[in-house]
Amino acid sequence: MSGDIMQDNIFDSFQKGVRDGLPIALGYLSVSFAFGMTAVSQGIPLETAVLISLTNVTSAGQFAGLQLIVMNASYIEMAMTQLIINLRYALMSLALSQKLDHKMSTFDRCIIAFGNTDEIFAVASRHTQIGKHYMWGLMGLPIFCWTIGTFFGGFASSILPLGVRDALGIAIYGMFIAIILPPAKVMRSVRIVLMIAIVCSCIFASMEHIWAIGSGFSIIICTLLSAALGAWLFPIEEVKK
Amino acid sequence: MRIVTYMIVMAGVTYLIRVLPLALCQRQIQNRFVRSFLFYVPYSVLGAMTFPAVFTSVSQLPSAIAGTLAAIFMAYREKSLLCVAAVACAVAFAVDLLYNAA
């Protein structure tokens, strides 16, 4: 975990956030593009699809929500589905809460919470202390691209050739691998926690046709299990103040 | 305006999940187990989200495997996030072309 980015120059922090957010934003373009295409092809008005992206900023939840809208599901079903699929964000927010600048106001925390996506959390959690200007920089471009990508996807069914669009699907995972591998190289505990999480996730995926637990639930269970085992087997000693 | 209500429900639930822990937990957690647990959460989440999903992230399995191996190789050499992601896409795209040509 590198770098203390709490209280330095406002502009520098913001700029660093924007730079770190750029790869996320590019990845979001392709995913939200797909969301826009799917939504409009399912009969959702373009402006509604764009608004859904702007207000939700979450891929799995939106795709599932789309399905429920098309099925004309009840609002309770919609709420429960979103809760289950997105519950992992509660774990991420809790982890993030420990790294935010202590002096940050509740209002600022409420703004930052809006942009706590898988990818933004992943990048932010590489730092030990996080200030609001860094977070603004980090969140801004990805949220913008998430929204605008949905618009493009809905508007033009294809800007990029199919092959290129398809290959972009792996971008976000490439980024995740780039985040988890370097610390796993140096810390045995992280390696073991990762292996447990991955094995657990693969088991759930392979059982999908017998017991369809859903990817949201699967991620929560794998996370709870592997992080708890890690905390039990390899507790982290008190960090310097 | 049923669709707008759907949207409000989706956005409301998602935001509450994100905001409650951040707004309510403003102090440093002292418990060593919880601190250690939260330390491992990012790796657990990302590991579980990446595997096995990465193998179905592009339409052909061989391209996905090649892209994943490329990403692991670049990440092991500690290249930047953008670089790792770009190489993974490029390799997956190239293998896809080869695969379709063969």
Lowest mean pLDDT among A57-71, A163-177, A195-209, B38-52: A163-177
> Which A residues 150-179 touch B at CB under 8 Å?
163-164, 166-179
% of chain B surpassing 90 pLDDT: 51
Instruction: Could you list the beta-strand ranges (E) of A182-240.
Output: none
pLDDT value of residue A2? 44
Longest dimension (CA), chain B: 59
By C-alpha distance, which of A218, A37, A154, A148 is closest to B44? Answer: A218
A79 Cβ under 8 Å from any chain B Cβ: yes
Q: What is the pLDDT of residues A99-128, one digit of tens each?
A: 888 888 999 999 999 999 989 999 998 888
Task: Return the domain boundaries, chain A.
Answer: 4-179, 187-241
Min CA distance, A9 vs chain B (Å)?
Answer: 23
Mean pLDDT (chain A) is 85
ipTM, 2 dp: 0.86
Q: How far is CA A45 from CA A38, A39, A42, A155, A219, in A?
A: 11, 8, 9, 10, 31
A233 Cβ under 8 Å from any chain B Cβ: no
Instruction: Using pLDDT thresholds of 50, 70 and 90, give the confidence band for residue A236.
Output: confident
Res A203 pLDDT > 80:
yes
Using CA coordinates, name the residue in chain A closest to B29.
A98
Q: Which residue has the higher pLDDT, A128 or A184?
A: A184
CB distance A230–B4 less than 8 Å? no
Task: Return the domain boundaries, chain B.
Answer: 2-101
Q: What is the C-alpha to C-alpha distance for residues B100 and B97, in angstroms, rounded to an integer?
A: 5
What is the reported pTM? 0.72
CB atoms within 10 A of CB A208: 12
Instruction: Using pLDDT thresholds of 50, 70 and 90, give the confidence band for residue A156.
Output: low
Buried b (16+ CB within 10 A) or exposed e, A115-148: bbbbbbbbbbbbbebbbbbbbbbbbbbbbebbbb
CB distance A93–B22 less than 8 Å? yes
Cβ contacts of residue A56 below 8 Å, gap of 6+?
A: A62, A65, B7, B10, B11, B14
